[in-house]
């Protein structure tokens, strides 16, 4: 007789490669945010992800590929958050108050600040990562420019980049 547990539990030894790969990417992203690129090693990533050391090289041909994938993961998280706040700028009369509130929350969240700093750092040290590093800035300007014009939107984004760096320090 087959028990309910046997039906819902995968056989012992069965693996979920996509979940393992996702865990590795998330661990790499976290380490980049916490320690910068110098803290990113296969050993540290495997330990953080709870996977074997060989798993990091099974899914990624090099540490550079894994770093780039982790930075893309960070950028996708940021992009998704910008999508969430975009509707808040529709009502221009109250948008500045809401935008200030959102930025205060952002600047007080160490994970979000570290995430943005990791992208900025990658863009300053690796020319191929500059577009990715500028994603937050460009998207914010795009969101704001529709309501307050390109020049003002750019000025605000530059100011907020400076605040982000200050918050990280």
Q: Is the pLDDT of residue 9 over 70?
A: no
Average pLDDT over every residue of 106-126: 87
Of 6-10, 64-68, 131-135, the one with minimum mean pLDDT is: 6-10
Could you tell me where the DSSP H helices lie in the chain?
4-8, 17-35, 42-49, 53-59, 63-85, 92-107, 110-125, 130-133, 135-148, 150-168
C-alpha–C-alpha distance, residues 26 and 2, integer Å: 37
Dihedral sign for Cα atoms in the order 89, 33, 16, 8? negative
pTM to 2 decimals?
A: 0.65
Which of 44-48, 92-96, 100-104, 134-138 shows the lowest per-residue confidence on average (mean pLDDT)? 92-96
pLDDT, one tens digit per residue, over 89-104 is: 666 566 667 777 878 8
Q: Using an 8 Å Cβ cutoff, are 63 and 40 in contact? A: yes
Cα–Cα distances in angstroms (integers) from residue 124 to residues 48, 70, 77, 118, 157, in the given order:
26, 16, 20, 10, 17
| DSSP structure class, residue 108 | T
Given a cut of 60, whether residue 42 has pLDDT beyond it is yes
Under the banding of pLDDT at 50, 70 and 90, the label for residue 43 is very high
Residue 95: per-residue pLDDT: 64
């Amino acid at each position: 007789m087959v028990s309910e547990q046997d039906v819902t539990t995968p056989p012992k030894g069965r693996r979920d490669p996509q979940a393992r790969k996702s865990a590795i990417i998330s661990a790499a992203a976290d380490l980049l945010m916490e320690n910068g690129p110098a803290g990113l090693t296969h050993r540290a990533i495997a330990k953080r992800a709870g996977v074997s050391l060989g798993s990091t090289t099974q899914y990624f041909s090099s540490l550079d590929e894994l770093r780039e994938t982790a930075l893309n993961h960070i950028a996708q998280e940021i992009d998704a958050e910008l999508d969430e706040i975009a509707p808040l700028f529709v009502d221009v009369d109250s948008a500045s108050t809401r935008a200030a509130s959102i930025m205060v929350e952002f600047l007080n969240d160490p994970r979000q600040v570290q995430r943005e700093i990791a992208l900025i750092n990658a863009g300053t040290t690796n020319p191929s990562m500059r577009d990715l590093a500028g994603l937050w800035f460009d998207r914010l300007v795009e969101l704001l420019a529709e309501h307050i014009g390109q020049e003002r939107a750019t000025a605000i984004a530059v100011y907020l980049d400076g605040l982000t760096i200050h918050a990280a320090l």
